[in-house]
A and B are shown apart, each in its own frame.
Chain A
């Protein structure tokens, strides 16, 4: 009886034990199946290793014709682990490496054998892609060698690739593209579009555990998008060449210069050349270059526009209907506004009293005329028009470090009425070259201001994002714009022979400008500028030439106008715009 009770109790316990084991087994089985089939690697903390990063390839920067201006390339580093190599293997390796690395066998042999206890020896750094290909071929050959005495271990021979930035055209548009160095310092488009160019690194992580190892946690790499610029490298190269070699910085001994070529209808920048500049691929030389080489003059330098501002004053007055195109006034050579006397720059050579037209005002840069017109307009209308032309605020061009220009406005503590006179002749205010080019673009584009831009497309795989030209606002009516254009064209025909290009009609004006704080020429530090657009009547292209500190020749008509003429002639040739025989004089 007692035995029966005992056996019955044992059976129950065994049964319970089996049930518990079965439940535990089923739980583990379900867990295992779940892990295998349904659970993502990322959801199991502690089982993930840190994984390895797959670096994204930085996007390339191309010009409007599809040529690479900046592109990533590959460099290789060759590491050898001598302690993993036998004498026979080293004997086999050295002659082949000497040929590929173009080094002496003896040197290589010494380098490898003398560091026998090292974990690894770096035999080459910054090796080219072609050298990398040859090394990979050698590695394959060594790994597959049938002679077991020669066959290499996988880790004995490491070819480590890394990306670096290459500039096939050796620094064309360097200021625009900007630089990128190993300390992750970026400027220009490299900085502005860094998030687009960088892409997203990929991650490869392996699940590791006591019982299983499997691939998991793979996040594909997303390479950076390519940027296609509005800049045409041929026009850009010509502009840079003009600045440096032809008649620009070296010849005039200017310390800085810039040439801007804009498509007035869209705002697309065809060339944005600045000098001095730098070689983006040769960072070893950067320390020897002046700091100004890294400043994009066209967007970050400010200067007094002076005479180049007068046509804008006239356009503003015409638009506000304060004057008509038929206006004539008596020019006595001097005028007082707000207690400040304004004098024509050529008062000593010109008759003191003449009757002048608006075209005369532009042709001979009569300060009296511009001040008189501004006084008729009054401050509110004048400054409203100045703002509408885009001064006092950045143009919004897609480059970093763009400056807005400086100007005292009514209401600010230092503003007095005399400023109205100064501003009407482009003094006591500063603008950037790109601001001025954009404002003249509005005159060329029948009064509509377009935002200048540099990137026309972003290409990420098959996805292409096209930049649409951005119309900022209508500044003046088409009639006013055309009237001022005719005056400017007349000014070119009458007095600016250096800027003339046979067969083409261009509207333009020169300026011998000054930098803030330097009033009296030639004792001050002059800057020379010429801005124009054409060919009429389409007015497609705006060209601005500006030189900073260009003594002894400092008149805009002597320094900047010839370069303008050469730039325009090249542009017309390059764009295939035939000369018009009727414009032979102009």
Chain B
């Protein structure tokens, strides 16, 4: 049985609606609930969730509340509860509700005349018009929203460039400006490094790895992953490099991302040769050519942080990379001896897309091809992302998992269900995952994941080795040390970087 109700002419952001639905699912008599604005995409998501929307005529400006269960009275109560949750949320309240919120940009400028950046996290279909208006008014923009059409991304970036402004994104989750964490970002020291990143969790990984080496970052400019593909041509990446090149506070530049389009890569490297300060590149897994005395190419994220840190400290960058590789190899060998190899397949469950990409790359070097919903090689694409096959690493941050559901860095619950399900599979020997800390992320991701691992261990014993990396610092709201302790208490082997975790996970598999 289902109950649907439409509330016309109200708007809530998707995070609020998904948090409300999550609370509603705990309510007596509710098997499943969904709160969505009436967009075409949300109609599809609700239908996939088992709702019959025949005859429903909600528009994108209307809210649909849907609940499923067995008893009509309980469902009616649940809908009333949903209204209550939206008015008075039971989850953490935000402080902005108390202050004045302007409805127009002119209103915003009247209280903040020196505003210089708009952060936009409204639904993708509205993000373009909001960003365009902001650029018109002379604001740089960081677009967290995804589902922005490619041609609109190009238009926005060209429009911004004409006004010497920058567009970060779309799908830009992390940025750092003068050390301040924007979006999902970590609390790290401020220093002389400037980062340009076409990969959001890649930026978090190098930012925190630099911090662990005592090196601070001044700026981390996210471009969105599509920026370095052929169509966009690296518009934001090149503009950011140009600005950081002349920034006197930056002494070393670090450029990271998944491998760019070859022509974009050529342009990035050509610019790197001209900036007049050392440039470290990490196009994950790719070894760039044309290295000069001031250009350092790395294939892994932690390696790029180690090389950058060495350059800042006036040490030999080549030695730093070599020493790191030896250290990881020694650590992985000792850890394998200590916890023992396992028979079976590797299963990786990731919340960060760049970290997932790096893990696939490193584990496939040792284990051969790895299946994924977001594979390195299209031939290795899983037919069903929820069904693993052989060695598999799944990206839970991929669009297919985040439409109608909170990102796994905000709500790890869905990914945790898979941890228990994979542990049930007798052909599995090692389970690998990431835990990402920082502003914007879940307040206790390690606690939630550790609980799932303890449940898996209760039912399936110690047959499986669990390996995790934690991306964060002790200054993050979640505290790295506290989060690590929770994972270790659950018997999870915690590595200090994603590259280390992936190498260890592969080494633990008996071949």
Tell me, yes or no, whether A binds B: no
